[in-house]
């Protein structure tokens, strides 16, 4: 599945030094220039991902980005993620979004896309044995100012976690 992450999730993954694991969660990962411009703190890891081939820089039609900004009130980076997903991913696209208003916009108006957040990616890393605890990793990111749960993202992640637990398993 092609993955289209927003800047918030990339910055958090970069801070946790987990960006190189992203292709284990998805297949190819796509990034546009607006998102890339925001991810200053993880620029070296982004460059390394591009050099390694799993992270693919792509160009979108800026007129479409601006049109979506006008319609949704979202920032250019989040609109670029949505436009890029429509352009390259179609119905197979997975959007990795942690900015609350962008997350809710995609959830409501773009149901054709799979929508996940940092919690989903970290849970996948935990399940694969790459990290010891998704919850601990997020707690550390929060403590260091890199991340904050948007209520919409938290709600869906908790619901998803509940669905993953088997009956009888402790919560």
Pick one of 40, 127, 135, 139: the residue that binds another protein (CB under 8 A).
Answer: 40
* Residues 153, 98 contacting (CB under 8 angstroms): yes
**Dist. CA 69–CA 2, nearest whole Å:** 23
Kindly indicate which of the ranges 31-39, 88-96, 120-128, 130-138 contains the residues binding another protein, using the contact rule CB under 8 A.
31-39
Rounded least distance, CB 81 to another protein, Å: 13
Residue 74 touches another protein, criterion: CB under 8 A: yes
Among 3, 25, 29, 38, binds another protein (CB under 8 A): 38
Q: Does residue 32 bind another protein (CB under 8 A)?
A: no
**Contacting residue, 54, 55, 68, 75, with another protein by CB under 8 A:** 75
Q: Is 114 one of the binding residues for another protein (CB under 8 A)?
A: no
Angle at 119 between CA 113 and CA 124, to 5 degrees: 85
Contact positions with another protein (CB under 8 A) in 10-29? 11
Is residue 76 near another protein by the rule CB under 8 A?
yes
């Amino acid at each position: 599945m092609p993955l289209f992450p927003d800047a918030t999730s990339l910055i958090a993954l970069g801070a946790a030094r987990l960006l190189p694991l992203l292709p284990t969660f998805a297949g190819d990962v796509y990034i546009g220039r607006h998102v890339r411009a925001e991810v200053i703190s993880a620029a070296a890891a982004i460059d390394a991902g591009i050099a390694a081939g799993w992270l693919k820089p792509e160009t979108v039609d800026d007129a479409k980005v601006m049109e979506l900004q006008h319609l949704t009130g979202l920032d250019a980076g989040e609109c670029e993620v949505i436009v890029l997903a429509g352009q390259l991913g179609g119905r197979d696209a997975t959007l990795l979004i942690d900015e609350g208003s962008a997350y809710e916009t995609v959830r409501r108006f773009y149901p054709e896309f799979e929508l996940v957040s940092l919690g989903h990616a970290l849970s996948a890393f935990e399940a694969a044995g790459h990290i010891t605890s998704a919850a601990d990793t997020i707690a550390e990111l929060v403590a260091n100012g890199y991340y904050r749960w948007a209520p919409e993202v938290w709600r869906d992640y908790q619901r998803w976690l509940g669905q993953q637990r088997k009956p009888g398993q402790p919560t």
